[in-house]
Amino acid sequence: MTAEHEGPRLAPLSAAQWGDAEYAAFGVLLGIPGEKVPRAGSGHEYDPLKFDIVGLLAHHPELARAFLRFNTYLLRRGELPLRLRELAILRVACTHRSAYEWGQHVKIAVGGGVSEDDITRLAAGNDGFEGDDRLVLEITDELLVDGHATWEMWQRLVDALGMHQAMELIFVVGTYAMAAMAFVTWGLPPAPGAAPLPIPADISGQQRR
């Protein structure tokens, strides 16, 4: 059985397990103090029990606060355009078989103007992409396979995107690869109704095990 089809191995915190430290961690994501975070089990739009990923990370509140602060920067305040960022994240999710990441970031990508055709093509490889899209996917593949990009690819990336965006891309790929390791290990399932994780291009008829 593949990891993305298994049930959760680590359960999100129950309502009774939420305390000041856990609310403070979630507050980092919401941009509000912990005491203003809706209480677990309240049924509020931002009830922590509705956010499985936060409920998992909050098993280690201090780690959760640090990670969510950094990840929030990449998603909300980084200079890398949404389209390029999401193409890279979706490639990471597909390669590392993270059904949760794939479902969440298909939604973000489509909401940001990435077409469903592009998302389908991305799962099948790099054919059909050109320009900055193709460069970002190729360097993402290098990072995932080799653990680094070649100097020539790095120079091309800087020339195309500038130093700040090029640096951010490496941290985006690394951050979401790390997150995928955690989510697949813990058995975090995709949200109900999320786009299903596709079979990657280098697999013929069977998913990677």
pLDDT at 3: 44
Please tell me the distance from the alpha carbon of residue 181 to that of residue 164, in angstroms, as a whole number: 26
Q: How far apart are CA 201 and CA 190, in angstroms?
A: 21
What residues contact residue 76 under an 8 Å CB cut-off, 6+ apart?
Answer: none
Task: Compute the distance between CA of residue 38 and CA of residue 181 in angstroms, rounded to an integer.
Answer: 29
Task: Give the model's pLDDT for residue 7.
Answer: 61
d(CA 28, CA 156): 35
pTM (two decimals): 0.89
pLDDT tens track of the chain, all 209 residues?
Answer: 344 445 678 999 999 999 999 999 999 999 999 999 999 999 999 999 999 999 999 999 999 999 999 999 999 999 999 999 999 999 999 999 999 999 999 999 999 999 999 999 998 899 999 999 999 999 999 999 999 999 999 999 999 999 999 999 999 999 999 999 999 999 999 989 999 999 876 633 333 33
pLDDT at residue 208 in the model = 33
Alpha helices, DSSP H only, in 58-129?
61-72, 82-95, 99-111, 116-124
DSSP designation for 10: S
Q: Mind listing the domains of the chain with CATH numbers?
A: 8-75 (no CATH), 80-186 (1.20.1290.10)
Cα–Cα dist 148/131, whole Å = 21
**Contact call for residues 48 and 14 (beta carbons, < 8 A):** no
